Amino acid sequence: MENADISEIRDMEINSKKTSEENIVKSAIKGNKEDFVSLIEIYKEYLYKTAYLYVKNQHDASDIYQETIYKAFISIHKLKKPEYFKTWITKILINNINDKFRKSSKVVLMDDNEYLTNCHDTIDTISSIDLYNAIDNLGGKHKTSR
């Protein structure tokens, strides 16, 4: 077989796979739960690894993965172009990751008086540490008090 023939066969296999996957997506959009499960089986490793790359934590990656599957399942009917299923579900995944980061980085606000009190205590502590470090750096004859 020539290289051109091998290339043509490979292209035909890829196109056949794409068409088959698009048919599964179309069926899932119409409500076929088994086909939705088949799609998730195809992309489960990709989705989990992508989540893990962002959050660097197995537990959080698993939670994000599960939330992505749930959101994709309840909104698959909104997918307009079946050929973009992977892009669509990846966007859901990334949005879930962003939500996780937003929730984990919430700031607790203090009123001004509480902040000033805490800030003053911190400055006193830092000053005390600096003073003790300076005393420790003094020579023996300079450390005695008269």
CATH number of the domain within which 83 lies? 1.10.1740.10
Determine the pLDDT at residue 116. 47
* Global model pTM greater than 0.85: no
Domain count, the chain: 2
25 & 61 share domain = yes
| CA-based nearest residue to 73, from 51, 102, 50, 43 | 43
Query: pLDDT tier at 20 (50, 70, 90 boundaries)?
Result: confident
pLDDT in tens, 90-132: 999 999 999 998 887 765 555 555 544 554 555 555 655 666 6
Average model confidence (pLDDT) across the chain: 80
Determine the pLDDT at residue 35. 95
Distances (CA, A) of 138 to 91, 102, 133, 146: 61, 49, 9, 15
Segment 46-49 long-range contacts (CB within 8 Å, at least 24 positions apart): 46/86, 47/89, 47/90, 47/93
